[in-house]
Amino acid sequence: MKKLMKSAVLLIIILVGVTAWFATRTPDTPFDTLQADNYKSDELIKRGEYVARLSDCVACHTTPGNPAFSGGLAMGTPVGTVYTTNITPDKEAGIGNYSLADFDRAIRHGVSKDGHRLYPAMPYPSYSKMSDSDVQALYAFFMNDVKPVQKPNKAPDIPWPLNMRWPLAFWNALFTESSVYQTDPKQDDQWNRGAYLVQGAGHCGSCHTPRGFAMQEKAYDQTSKDYLAGNTLDGWYAPSLRNDPNSGLGRWTEEDVYKFLKNGRNEHAVVYGSMTDVFNNSTQFMSDKDLYAIANYLKSLPGNPERDGEPWQYEPQIISGHLLNKPGAQTYMTRCSYCHGKDGMGRGSTIPPLAGATSMLVPSIASAVNITLNGSGRVVDQGVPDAYRMPVFRDELSNKEIAEVLSFIRSSWGNQGRAVTAGDVEKMRKETDPASSEVIILQMR
């Protein structure tokens, strides 16, 4: 018995030691053995600025009224709120003391300079696919072209024991794929460039890929039908980016995808919700070559007929006569029809159609309710603010009126989305806020 107990104790000590080593170990980086370099060439810094645009660092690390990249954005998670950090080169509050290896570990492995694990609200599972050269360029930009800001970081509002970070080492081992993007020899250069941008720097899967039981992305590339198949996050439905005719890009051409990313709008949709920030500070600044590469890659992803059902078909319907007696019809005519049309077809690329709109076809009612309650953020295209935006109806319409008008829209012109209830609206009213009229447009070179 004594020998058995000694063996058990020894085994426990070994397991604790192995666990502690694994949870606190410093991940390897190719820059560990790299000789010191000042990374100050103008060419490298300029390229790093472009990589920062591709990665949309400003969307999470900049808040209205604060300097660029000084952090502070509140990000809700199932376990509490985390706040984005100061990533300016300030030596006390920011990353000014980070070596290239430290920077790489944070970007591609989710480990800070002092060894603590980053919450995966930071999209390092996607950034892990970024190339060594892009990481070097990004480092050069942040260290030499971003103004240091001494703004302290805010601690996350996550209760103990959920706020412990060491278990994330095991989460990473189970649910992430920490490897640089590998070119697919079966595909051409344009497709591979698009795949690299979508899977890596663009981290599109962070919003558009469904999450599993541990809040992990279910897939990280096109080998799984779950990748980019749509997801509800932070009160918005991020639609499928696959060729699903109802929930995704099935009715879009490559040119439509390019226009949406370049101009923030096309004949099918206008950016809103979280995508507004992505357009304002990222996609509109990308080269046409990269935008077409993204479009080419996304249009190569097959849809899922089992999930999406029969493709939407427009059913002409002018709201008049007996149709005005349907619940929600009068509200639509007085509040919505001037912009979106009596036929639901909108006004070209200026105001999107509601007939066939993804938000009106998918089971999730999040985007439809959120944008009706809270309006849309300001879209700024090439420095010019939008002239038409979805207004805020939070104080103008009751929960019942919003539920009825959305149910009316989701059952008109061939739309077949589920009905919205007053309870759905009330829940969203409590959990969301009106869209801010403030807009962050980062001015770089």
pLDDT at 16 over 90: no
Answer yes or no: are the C-beta atoms of 370 and 267 closer than 8 Å: no
Query: Measured between alpha carbons, how far is 121 from 127 in angstroms, rounded to an integer?
Result: 12
**pLDDT value, residue 104:** 97
Answer yes or no: are the C-beta atoms of 84 and 61 closer than 8 Å: yes
Between the alpha carbon of residue 410 and those of residues 149, 234, 407, the distances in Å are 47, 22, 5
| DSSP notation for 105-153 | IIIII-B-TTSPBPPTTS-HHHHTTS-HHHHHHHHHHHHHHS-----PP
**pLDDT value, residue 238:** 97
**pLDDT value, residue 336:** 96
What pLDDT, in 10s, does the model give residues 361-400?
999 999 999 999 999 988 988 888 888 889 999 999 999 9
pTM: 0.92
* Termini Cα distance of the chain: 73
Query: Measured between alpha carbons, how far is 299 from 190 in angstroms, rounded to an integer?
Result: 12
- Among 327, 310, 407, smallest CA distance to 360 is for 407
**pLDDT value, residue 438:** 63
The more confident residue out of 136 and 435 is: 136
Between the alpha carbon of residue 22 and those of residues 11, 27, 102, 119, 173, the distances in Å are 16, 10, 18, 17, 10
Burial of 313 (0-12, 13-18, 19+ CB in 10 A): exposed
Q: How many CB atoms within 10 Å of residue 38?
A: 8
Topology at the third CATH level for domain 13-157: Cytochrome Bc1 Complex; Chain D, domain 2 (1.10.760)
Between the alpha carbon of residue 128 and those of residues 29, 135, 239, the distances in Å are 11, 10, 24
Cα angle value 257/260/263 (rounded, 5°): 140
Half-sphere exposure of residue 345: CA atoms within 13 angstroms, side-chain side: 8
Answer yes or no: are the C-beta atoms of 107 and 138 closer than 8 Å: yes
- Among 181, 182, 237, smallest CA distance to 209 is for 237
Residue 416 pLDDT class (50, 70, 90 cuts): very high
Q: Which two tokens stand for residue 81?
A: 């709120």
For helices 288-298 and 254-263, angle between their N-to-C axes, nearest 10 degrees: 130
pLDDT, mean over the chain:
92
Q: Which two tokens stand for residue 45?
A: 């810094």
Between the alpha carbon of residue 307 and those of residues 182, 300, 302, 392, 438, the distances in Å are 30, 18, 12, 32, 38
Q: Is the CATH number of domain 321-431 1.10.760.10?
A: yes
Task: Read off the DSSP letter of residue 347.
Answer: B
**pLDDT value, residue 187:** 98
**pLDDT value, residue 322:** 76
**pLDDT value, residue 129:** 97
What pLDDT, in 10s, does the model give residues 43-97?
999 999 999 999 999 999 999 889 999 999 998 877 889 999 999 999 999 999 9
What pLDDT, in 10s, does the model give residues 87-103?
999 999 999 999 999 99
Pairing of strands 231-233, 236-238: antiparallel
Residue 15 pLDDT class (50, 70, 90 cuts): confident
The more confident residue out of 348 and 300 is: 300
Task: Read off the DSSP letter of residue 283.
Answer: G
- What is the H or E stretch that residue 83 is in? strand 80-83
pLDDT at 197 over 60: yes
- Among 230, 238, 398, 354, smallest CA distance to 301 is for 230
CA 404 remoteness from chain centre: 30
- If you count them, how many residues does the chain have? 445
What pLDDT, in 10s, does the model give residues 213-270?
988 999 999 999 999 999 998 899 999 999 999 999 999 999 999 999 999 999 999 9
Query: Measured between alpha carbons, how far is 444 from 127 in angstroms, rounded to an integer?
Result: 22
pLDDT at 445 over 60: no
Average pLDDT over residues 336-351: 92
pLDDT at 437 over 70: no
Best-predicted range by mean pLDDT (27-31, 34-38, 90-94, 232-236): 90-94
Average pLDDT over residues 422-443: 82
Domain boundaries, the chain: 13-157, 321-431
